[in-house]
Amino acid sequence: MLPRRRLITAAPVLVAAMAGLAGAARAADPWPDIKEALFGHRPIADGGAVIALDAPERALDAAVVPMTIRALLPQTEARWIKTVHLVIDENPAPLAAVFHLSPASGSATIETRVRVNSYTHVHAVAETSDGRLHGVSRFVKAAGGCSAPALKDADEAMARLGRMKLRTHTPFTPGEAMTAQLLISHPNYTGLQIDQLSRNWIPPDYVRSILVRYGEREILKVEADISLSEDPSITFSFVPEAEGRLSVAVEDSSERHFEEAWPIGPGS
Amino acid sequence: MRLLLAAFGLLAMAGPPAMAQALAVEEVAPGVFVHQGVHEEFTAANEGAIANLAFVVGQDAVAVIDSGGSLRQGRRLREAVEAHTGLPVRWVIATHAHPDHLFGHAAFAGDGVRFAGHQRLPREVASKGPLYLDNMTRLLGAASAGTELVAPDVTVPVGAPLEIDLGGRVLRLQAWPTAHTAADLTALDLESGTLFAGDLLFMERLPVVDGSLTGWLDVMAELAALPAERVVPGHGPAQAAWPEALAPQRAYLKALRDSVREAIEQGMPLGRAAEEIPLPAGQSWLLGDENHPRNVIASYTELEWE
Ligand SMILES: [Zn+2]
């Protein structure tokens, strides 16, 4: 956990200073330092045979940039993708999320939406169950995603804080992988947005962890940070062996807890 | 022509404010003057002058409705006011917080001038204004010199219109629920039946969804019932017939809503929806290529909560 903390927001002001830097061209490539902080000196192999990263070349909206980490191998007990780190190199808090997956999730493919603060490389690093690291990267052109006051209607956003929605994209067949999108209503304040009248930084307030279970079994755990877009969206897979309940527990950086569960069966 | 205007602009910056070249305006009804914005993105050459701006002259005072995209443009609008009347500007009304509509406000600051807007406008200006200002400075360069944020001192709540008297001439200011943005306000000149819709109405140029797509459609239904003869849209011609002028925008927003709802139903992810949902067939809009995919994203992230 310690290395991760080093990459994450300590204080809004510090982050703000970094955001200023991010606007101007930071000369040095930040990736070697980030890589070392996250993975020490472990080698990262070209991950092209394990995962693919789909990201737009140029973001249409820097505050909502869709990204998909596509698993190129199935999740089996013999070999599976254990974790995926999603890193947006030039963001004030580069580590956007760590996805902890299970051999029972069917596919490790994950889709989410992130903020991108400046032109940047985006890295996805998968760790397979044999302990090896596999990395891929893309270059994304976008600017201002972290300081953008993306909230269109702050009243409405706060009114539905913590509300969740689950959308299943494939029919229920016992033993077959199902894809579902989880939406969590949360402003995910970055700490980089300023209130000009009060001259105060709006403090960071963001979804920090998401735990998805099917019955008692853990499907997915996400450690998240300020780079996830407001109203975080995670699309993931799971294999329901039988009818059951999918439950989600969310914790945010203000120590709020939200829980919700949905029945999964022929009707879903 | 634009080059010429830009050259005048540079002169204006060097000299005192009174040297500013007056904006071209047309009188769409007695005492109602409109400057028509160009259908372009912000550039140094257009000085942010992309929105329609207006002023209404009463017997005692003048009200300005939207002030332009830069201090310089605000000054040029003030020149235009002074070229048509000796009466003082007493009211400066912002139809919403977008920079092309209120970044000229500071040109009118002074004793006895009130700045009016939606009840939520102060918050909009506070939370989004600094970013808009940064962007405008980057896009306009020297043409944005001196531009500053001006928060309204008279605010209008939704459901409680405010009537302001210019001397024998009343403007009714009405605040709306979230539509184009979270703080849209219209002004209705009761004497001439002219509705100043701000960006609740785009014509010719593609509407931009920055509030709520469904909210906007709801507000348009209410707007259509307002007793106006003509409308001054936020972007488009200086005037158009009311409420017929709403039709193209309504068609676009409905098509956008329906196509995005369908994509969500089908499980099409956001990224693909933004790339694949085309501009509605049979509709012609300016500046649609970039703005339509952005509208798809805004609509998608709204409608997926339905
Ligand atoms: Zn607007």
Does B293 sit within 8 Å of A195, measured CB to CB? no
Higher pLDDT, A238 or B141: A238
DSSP-derived secondary structure for A112-181: EEE---SSEEEEEEEEETTS-EEEEEEEEB---TTT----S-HHHHHHTTT-EEEEE-S---TTS-EEEE
pLDDT at B206 over 60: yes
Partners of residue B99 in chain A, C-beta under 8 Å: none
Distance from CA of B127 to the nearest CA of A (A): 5
Does B123 sit within 8 Å of A111, measured CB to CB? no
A102 touches chain B (CB under 8 A): no
Does A153 sit within 8 Å of B182, measured CB to CB? yes
Does B130 sit within 8 Å of A196, measured CB to CB? yes
Tens of pLDDT, residue by residue over B220-260, are 999 999 999 999 999 999 999 999 999 999 999 999 999 99
Q: How far is CA A123 from CA A24, A32, A54, B40, B133, in A?
A: 21, 12, 11, 36, 32
Domain, as residue range, for A126? 4-264
Does A231 sit within 8 Å of B301, measured CB to CB? yes
pLDDT at B1 over 70: no
Which of A60, A149, A153 is the closest to B178 by Cβ?
Answer: A153
Does B131 sit within 8 Å of A196, measured CB to CB? no
A200, two tokens: 């105060």
Does A68 sit within 8 Å of B271, measured CB to CB? yes
CB within 8 Å of chain B, chain A residues 18-57: 54, 56
Q: Over chain A (268 residues), what is each successive 10-residue block's mean pLDDT?
A: 37 36 59 95 97 94 94 92 96 95 90 94 97 97 74 75 93 93 93 63 88 95 94 95 96 96 90
Picking from B89, B122, B125, the residue whose alpha carbon sits closest to that of residue B108 is: B89
pLDDT at B161 over 70: yes
Give the residue-averaged pLDDT of B271-286. Answer: 93
Ligand 1: distance of its center to the CA of B235 in Å? 9
Higher pLDDT, B123 or B118: B118
Interface ipTM above 0.90:
no
Q: Within a 10 A sphere around the Cβ of B201, how many other Cβ atoms?
A: 28
A223 touches chain B (CB under 8 A): no
Distance CA B238, CA A137 (A): 50
The total of structural domains in chain B comes to 1
Ligand 1: distance of its center to the CA of B294 in Å? 14
Does A153 sit within 8 Å of B126, measured CB to CB? no
Domain, as residue range, for B167? 2-303
Q: State the CATH number of the domain containing residue B210.
A: 3.60.15.10
pLDDT at B142 over 50: yes
pLDDT band per the 50, 70, 90 thresholds, residue B141: confident
> In the prediction, which pLDDT does B2 show?
34
DSSP-derived secondary structure for B24-82: P-EEEETTEEEEPPPSS---TTTTT--S-EEEEE-SS-EEEE--BSSHHHHHHHHHHHH
pLDDT at B136 over 90: no
Q: State the CATH number of the domain containing residue A30.
A: 2.60.40.2470
pLDDT band per the 50, 70, 90 thresholds, residue B19: low
Distance from CA of B99 to the nearest CA of A (A): 14
Does B125 sit within 8 Å of A196, measured CB to CB? yes
Which of A61, A111, A147 is the closest to B297 by Cβ?
Answer: A61
> In the prediction, which pLDDT does A149 show?
62
A193 touches chain B (CB under 8 A): yes
Task: Answer positive or negative: Cα dihedral of B244, B246, B252, B255.
Answer: negative
Does A60 sit within 8 Å of B212, measured CB to CB? no
Give the chain B residue whose CA is nearest to the CA of A151.
B211
The total of structural domains in chain A comes to 1
Distance from CA of A28 to the nearest CA of B (A): 24
Ligand 1: distance of its center to the CA of A263 in Å? 43
Does A235 sit within 8 Å of B304, measured CB to CB? no
A233 touches chain B (CB under 8 A): yes
Distance from CA of A67 to the nearest CA of B (A): 8
Tens of pLDDT, residue by residue over B50-80, are 999 999 999 999 999 999 999 999 999 999 9
Partners of residue A56 in chain B, C-beta under 8 Å: 271, 275
Residue A232, exposed/middle/buried by CB under 10 A (0-12, 13-18, 19+)? buried
Distance from CA of A153 to the nearest CA of B (A): 6
A254, two tokens: 């203000």
Residue B243, exposed/middle/buried by CB under 10 A (0-12, 13-18, 19+)? middle
